[in-house]
Structure 1
């Protein structure tokens, strides 16, 4: 199985994609000669700045009046003149943020998701953070604002929640999700305890959700878009802002909004990032944001999780099963002689299917025009790239490609930047050996829309809603506590799982709902 927003590149459970875009992506050029920037202006200078911008051939993209700024596209050659305009405070690149979670490709994860589809299951993360140990009647209902790719508002496990939102993505509406990531995050926070699917941290409607949609299917959004969403969270009177996203570069404007709203009592929580390095991801790296690292079901640090001095706490982020919209993700299908064979999609494979006789194509390193016409190529891993193998199959007339591993384990490969027109999947070495005995059999290989309503994802994106959900759950019992007191309590009550005391990989440790509640019951909000 794979997903539209880009599947994993290996079958190793923890091998998620890098956290953030490179510095070269920080400024998204509208064309080769222009750049997108945020211009902050001094009080009272907005009108004069707009006039000067027009004179430079600039184009207004977003009004960020809450933070005395505008987002513009301007000719790169005019940046120096833009900075020199009267009333300009600063000019910064409108850096790009990306989602910090992707679908797990492992067969084990697929089985866990299928189990959720047949009966209600309790994801391991809910017990790991002690949400299942919290009983009693909450005193109030905090509002969690999820800045993400939207939500499937009709989902069977989410529709019973109190939902509202606003769309900043230009794709669909706030209660649709063309990416699946936002719905997955929302499910971890608030999937209902309703006899179907999964259970969220707040499964008994202890929170209300406000959805600030900033991502479309591509999974990237600018700092100006995210800043607008953050301010919408503030206007919606959110108590917690959950951000499963990150950028390699900080945005001063984004920080300005976060700092201002923190002073108004909002708690910000964000993903530490998935690069598996000491690099700092933003907004998680800002002082007024809780940075959340990821751990697995054994409470071990996930190797993809970024580690540094800004990491504050940890939460489950590996093979997390939660809600997704049906037919947004995709899945691989392989049937040989009418019998299904487990497979994984090649990243970048087109959504299409084909039927043909199964044929041995060796290592796929020797194309021959017409040699595979109308056939499905069975190819061994090795010698050349996956993309080259598929291209050679296609060039030889093949209608589909099945690549089998040359070592034990599942095979999840990638086409990289190569565009192919035939479906391609990966299978195990053992299944490849078995299929060598079935050459000539009618074979169907395809990448198809996945009708599943549940899926397993990896990433600090998945850890973030666990922490956000716990913060909301704890706060729901203590309305008199402030956001900073809740934040402090979560840190002080965390389960130490890394090196003794605070460490850069897991911060204070694994977030714990019952322990936090017990601490406040014993010591009060200012504990």
Structure 2
């Protein structure tokens, strides 16, 4: 059985003919204006006079995001009451299309070795695309949020990303679906919905969201998002949150290069890389001198809004094969004898009442499925002609039978089972596999909250240091740009704190802290002597 989400998480704007009014809007730029304390009113007047409009007010940071005609920017930059003007850079969700796999991350980060019974003393804030309240695998008690006029209610999720992140952190151990790092409904969650279905927003919106996390009493902030340009205002804001005792954790980025992604690459934020089930760094995971920890981020199975995912199945002679549903496939389950339909470039004469086995190549996947249908076939299995499980699309072609893709090796095995009973299924699901540093981040966030719940007197710095000191070293010996300090380990971090304690705490062991000997503690990740 395979679960997938056939929904693009990247949206591209298309060109259109602009009216005069729309063209005027294009000529405006969106920027963050940071003003000197006590000068907000005069700056607002200057912005209004320049034809600007306030989009996000950031009173805790003496700043605001505005749109303003480009030709007015110079005047604002020269205003003596304004400290600086910078672009309000975009932030987007950092999940990608996924490859097949199986749930593995909870054991890999040792979350199954620690109790979350005390997790009610911690609150995790998820800044994302919302939360499918009422999902059978997600808690409804202990979770809250607020309405946003731009993105709507926190308890809906039109994108799917936020619900997936939430499931990795806190999916319930209820015999349904998957389990999260904190699986017993004890953790408190605060949801800030900054992304709509398109999956992108602005730096100013992220700062405002983090302000809301802080106001809600959050201990840890999950940011499975980022962008390739930094922001001075954003950097200052997260340094402020860090000073307030909040642990901010963000995705390292999915570009598969050595460029920094933000907010992950600020010193006050923990940057998380993605690894696979074999503990190898993912090809898409960005590798920089700011990467601090790693988490499972390839083929991560978690919750998605109800009905948004897909469950697919390919079984021949009672053997289940790894598969992916064809994008656009009809829903349904079909069982019949397996028939060889070659490359599918003509009507399959042997297909009547059978499941068609077709090789990739020569024509489109949609045409192959149509050739099966035309011969009376009831389901289609298309096998690859290169390494890997076949991931394909039927495009805009509407078909009536379930269709999946399998690997070349699976196809070779099936060719030896012609005439055997075969089943193809494609059905809606409440769970899906995602790839991305977005998926690695909630593993680290969940572990942070889990460990912290046992040592509530520890500071965010104590928890951060313990996670880095006890991470499973991967890649080059010591910290490296691919894995950071390594794979986060919940039980080892717990043991470390039980032995060494936290700064300023006394006693020893578990939930009461430890020796408080600072000399036994490591450096504070990026904030203390990290190579930059």
TM-score by length of 2: 0.74
Indicate whether 1:73 and 2:67 are aligned.
yes
User: CA offsets per residue over residues 63-104 of structure 1, 9 Å max, x none?
Assistant: 112211111112223322232234221111111111112352
Unpaired runs of at least 5, structure 2: 14-22, 315-320, 333-340, 346-356, 375-379, 416-423, 504-520, 522-532
Indicate whether 1:164 and 2:158 are aligned.
no
| Correspondences of 1:46-85 after superposition (within 5 Å) | 46-85=40-79
Number of equivalent positions: 462
Indicate whether 1:516 and 2:516 are aligned.
no
Counterpart position of 2:443: 466
SS at match of 1:290: strand
Pairwise CA distance, 1:127: 0.9
User: How far apart are the structure 2 equivalents of 1:156 and 1:258?
Assistant: 34
Counterpart position of 1:440: none
Pairwise CA distance, 1:333: 11
Counterpart position of 1:94: 88
User: How far apart are the structure 1 equivalents of 2:59 and 2:107?
Assistant: 43
Counterpart position of 2:246: 266
Aligned match for 1:148, one of 110, 122, 128:
128
Contact 2:392–2:405 (CA<8 Å) still a contact in 1?
no
SS at match of 2:26: coil
Counterpart position of 1:243: 223
User: How far apart are the structure 1 equivalents of 2:366 and 2:326?
Assistant: 10
| Correspondences of 1:425-444 after superposition (within 5 Å) | 427-428=405-406
Contact 1:192–1:203 (CA<8 Å) still a contact in 2?
yes
Pairwise CA distance, 1:380: 8.3
Pairwise CA distance, 1:312: 0.5
Compared CA separation, residues 446 and 48, structure 1 to 2 (3 A): farther
Contact 1:179–1:328 (CA<8 Å) still a contact in 2?
no
Compared CA separation, residues 472 and 137, structure 1 to 2 (3 A): same
Pairwise CA distance, 1:266: 0.5
Contact 2:308–2:430 (CA<8 Å) still a contact in 1?
no
Compared CA separation, residues 350 and 480, structure 1 to 2 (3 A): same
Pairwise CA distance, 1:224: 1.2
TM-score by length of 1: 0.75
User: CA offsets per residue over residues 296-345 of structure 1, 9 Å max, x none?
Assistant: 112221121111110001111111111111123467899xxxxxx99756
Contact 1:292–1:464 (CA<8 Å) still a contact in 2?
yes
Counterpart position of 2:30: 36
Pairwise CA distance, 1:291: 0.6
Contact 1:313–1:511 (CA<8 Å) still a contact in 2?
yes
Pairwise CA distance, 1:182: 0.7
Contact 2:309–2:430 (CA<8 Å) still a contact in 1?
no
User: How far apart are the structure 1 equivalents of 2:119 and 2:344?
Assistant: 64
Contact 2:275–2:294 (CA<8 Å) still a contact in 1?
yes
Contact 2:326–2:405 (CA<8 Å) still a contact in 1?
no
Contact 1:316–1:462 (CA<8 Å) still a contact in 2?
yes
Aligned match for 1:253, one of 212, 228, 233:
233
SS at match of 2:57: strand
Contact 1:100–1:273 (CA<8 Å) still a contact in 2?
yes
Counterpart position of 2:307: 327
Counterpart position of 1:138: 118
Larger of the two Rg values belongs to structure: 2
SS at match of 1:476: helix
Contact 2:330–2:403 (CA<8 Å) still a contact in 1?
no
Pairwise CA distance, 1:170: 2.4
Pairwise CA distance, 1:427: 3.6
SS at match of 1:469: helix
Compared CA separation, residues 285 and 154, structure 1 to 2 (3 A): same
Compared CA separation, residues 65 and 500, structure 1 to 2 (3 A): same
Counterpart position of 1:356: none
Indicate whether 1:211 and 2:191 are aligned.
yes
Contact 1:152–1:176 (CA<8 Å) still a contact in 2?
yes
User: How far apart are the structure 1 equivalents of 2:230 and 2:209?
Assistant: 16
Indicate whether 1:477 and 2:454 are aligned.
yes
